[in-house]
Amino acid sequence: MKKKNIIITGGLGFIGSNLVEFFLKKKFNVIVIDRMSIGSNIKNLDKNKNLIIKKFDICNRYLLSKCIDKFNPEAIYNLAAETHVDRSIKNPKSFVKSNILGVINILEILRKKNLKHNFKFIQISTDEVFGDIKKGKKSLETDAYNPSSPYSSSKAASDLILKSYIRTYNLPIIITNCVNNFGPKQNSEKLIPKTIINIFKDKDIPIYGTGKNEREWIYVKDHCKILYEVLYRGKLGQTYNIGSGFVYNNLFIVKKILSIFKNKLKRETKSKIIFINDRPGHDFRYSLNSKKISKTLRKLPKQNFEKSLIQTVKWYKENFSYIKENQ
Ligand SMILES: NC(=O)c1ccc[n+]([C@@H]2O[C@H](COP(=O)([O-])OP(=O)(O)OC[C@H]3O[C@@H](n4cnc5c(N)ncnc54)[C@H](O)[C@@H]3O)[C@@H](O)[C@H]2O)c1
């Protein structure tokens, strides 16, 4: 049987490369489009006869259109984005370009093409579009967007544009809003890899403010399993929250990693936690109500935060030289 083609933009980044591996295991041909900016690493993907990597920007209309014509994919998963909140505060414009103009560019190309009858465009968005929420509350898909940073507002803007293309042009789109991911291959600027790497180097571990900011955390491989199911079970035109139920503050996460080093890796460290000035506009809490996706999919992966965090620490230990190059 002929293998199916899938395009994954941002496939050299953290979630993208984990998703590419997942689809390769499912015997798809995968075409990655990535401009190789922050977050990407060519070593995130091993050579594979069913993998093609195209290095260009999703804002490039000519190359993107040619690529879609050539491979006539079953679906496009869009994970190409500028993703680091701190960087968005220093340089918001590049976030507008990739996260908003890049998405419109893809949509404009799709709108004018004869796509496969069952084609789907799946946009990977974030819980950050809902902004800060009160203790005890969980954001629903239907809640109003209230983003705080240039990053989250660029993601919110593209979600709204996508919703308008669903309504106005009836394009076959699904939007997923996911909580914080952790796992192998994440850029070392983010909290969990940064903490792990600093502990390995006996360096202090910086935490914003008081460390009480809460996030919901999902293991990237569980997120990828859900994204795969969305292709078959997700309904066109719908938005799905993807969560885990594991809501922890940053201080808890860092202490948990320290205890994994001590108790599982039997490794003592000189690293200390240091509290640094808070990020401007730092949201205090995100958490999602994910009942809609659990009703839609046949089954959700059994998630185990502790086990997945231990696997993550072990992965960084085994891939330490690779990470050093990634820094
Ligand atoms: N990491 C998380 O916790 C999380 C949570 C929810 C949603 N998301 C979303 O998932 C997606 C992937 O996130 P990630 O953490 O893997 O990010 P990442 O920064 O690790 O990877 C992003 C990838 O996109 C590429 N890219 C950026 N702009 C591009 C452009 N204009 N054209 C082509 N390629 C471009 C980068 O080179 C990089 O490889 C993003 O859309 C992000 O908003 C991430």
Q: Which of 127, 159, 214, 216 is catalytic?
A: 127
Residue 218 near residue 244, CB atoms below 8 Å: yes
The reply to whether 286 belongs to the active site is no
User: Please, what are the averages of pLDDT over each run of 10 residues along the chain (327 residues)?
Assistant: 92 98 98 95 95 98 97 97 92 95 98 92 98 94 96 97 97 98 94 95 94 96 98 97 96 97 94 92 90 91 96 94 64
Does 127 qualify as catalytic in the annotation?
A: yes
Q: Is 124:78 a contact under the CB 8 Å cutoff?
A: yes
Handedness of CA 166, 24, 293, 290 (dihedral sign): negative
CB of 45 sitting under 6 A from ligand 1: no
For residue 232, count CB atoms less than 10 angstroms from its CB and return exposed for 0-12, middle for 13-18, buried for 19 or more.
exposed
Three-point CA angle 76, 77, 79, nearest 5°: 135
Pocket test for ligand 1, best of 7, 14, 109, 159 (most atoms within 8 A of CB): 14
Contact present, 228 and 221 (Cβ < 8 Å): no
Tell me, yes or no, whether 228 lies in a domain. yes
Dig out the tokens for 175 from the structure.
């939007």
How far apart are the C-alpha atoms of 129 and 157, rounded to whole Å?
A: 9
Angle, nearest 10°, between helix axes 102-111 and 150-169? 10
**Is position 151 within any domain?**
yes
Residue 88 lies in a domain: yes
For residue 180, give the ligand 1 atom closest to its CA: 3
Name the token pair of 33: 């489009």
What's residue 299's pLDDT? 79
Catalytic residue of the set 128, 141, 159, 216: 128
Note whether residue 327 is domain-resident: no
Pocket-testing residue among 8, 15, 227, ligand 1, by greatest number of atoms within 8 A of Cβ: 15
53 Cβ contact list (under 8 Å, min separation 6): 11, 12, 32, 34, 42, 45
pLDDT at position 324 is 61
Q: How far apart are CA 272 and CA 205, in angstroms?
A: 6
Residue 243: per-residue pLDDT:
97
Q: What is the pTM of this model?
A: 0.97
Q: What is residue 73's predicted lDDT score, i.e. its pLDDT?
A: 96
Determine the structural domain holding residue 172 and report its residue range: 5-182+218-244+282-301
Residue 53 bridge partners (DSSP): 32
Does 89 map to a domain? Answer: yes
Tell me whether residue 83 is in a domain.
yes
CATH of the domain at 56: 3.40.50.720
- Report the domain count for the chain: 1
**Within a domain: residue 202?**
no
Q: Structure tokens of 223? A: 């997120």
Task: Calculate how far, in angstroms, residue 159's C-alpha sits from the geometric centre of ligand 1.
Answer: 15
In a domain, 141, yes or no: yes
**Predicted pLDDT of residue 114:** 85
Which residues sit opposite 78 in a β-bridge? 9, 123
